[in-house]
Amino acid sequence: MRRSCRYALAASLILVPQGRDVAGSDGPAVVPLTLPSGKVLQVEVMVKDGDRQMGLMFRPSLPVDRGMLFVFEHADFHSIWMKNCRFPIDILWLDETGRIVHLAEAVPPCRGDPCPTYGPLRRASYVIELNAGQARHERAVVGTRVSFELPR
């Protein structure tokens, strides 16, 4: 089972080639992601196992215009945990079309071992991590879609 704050994902899903903004030469790509409200965030695309495992660990905060998008090879019940995370987040699980299939709001940091895990009720291909309260504010609810373009 994969876990994260470490793993740290309405409009329609459009996959069109786009430029890559890379955080450092070996860092994850950064792409725009449009939430159901129309608000656009810049999200780090976590594709590599090491990046997904690190996620938001040890970061002091997440700027309001940023987020993380976790991309998985196969749809599954990808679980998240908040070990070594310092602030609460909203977690959105998306199917292969970008439709939100589950969400967990204001998930708190882990305060002691063992850390609880959070998982979707349906299989998901993507996970988005946002600041706590942002999903509700941007009208991200089950059934809506998130739009983003994956780097090549």
CA distance 120 to 102: 5
pLDDT at residue 31, rounded to an integer: 97
Query: What is the value of pTM for the model shown?
Result: 0.82
- Helices vs. strands in the chain: H and E counts, helices first: 2, 10
pLDDT at 51: 83
On whether the CB atoms of residues 143 and 12 are closer than 8 A, the answer is: no
The radius of gyration of the chain's CA atoms, rounded to the nearest angstrom, is 14
Q: Does 100 fall in a domain? A: yes
Q: Quick one: which of 112, 74, 113, 116 has its CA closest to 91?
A: 116
Residue 13 resides in a domain: no
Average pLDDT per block of 10 residues along the chain, 152 residues long? 37 30 64 98 92 86 96 95 94 98 97 94 97 97 97 84
Cα–Cα distance list, 95 to 55, 71, 112, 136 (Å): 20, 11, 31, 19
Give me the long-range contacts of 44-51 (CB less than 8 A, separation at least 24): 44/68, 44/69, 45/69, 45/71, 45/150, 45/151, 46/7, 46/8, 46/70, 46/71, 47/71
7 domain residue, yes or no: no
In a domain, 2, yes or no: no
The pLDDT assigned to 54 comes to 81
The answer to whether residue 5 sits within a structural domain is: no
In a domain, 10, yes or no: no
- Provide the CATH number for the domain around residue 141: 2.60.120.1140
Structure confidence at residue 16 (pLDDT): 28
> Range of 49's domain?
29-148
Helix (H) or strand (E) holding 75: strand 66-76
pLDDT (0 to 100) of residue 101: 98
In angstroms, the CA 5 to CA 51 distance is: 11
Residue 111 belongs to what H/E stretch?
none
| Number of domains the chain is built from | 1
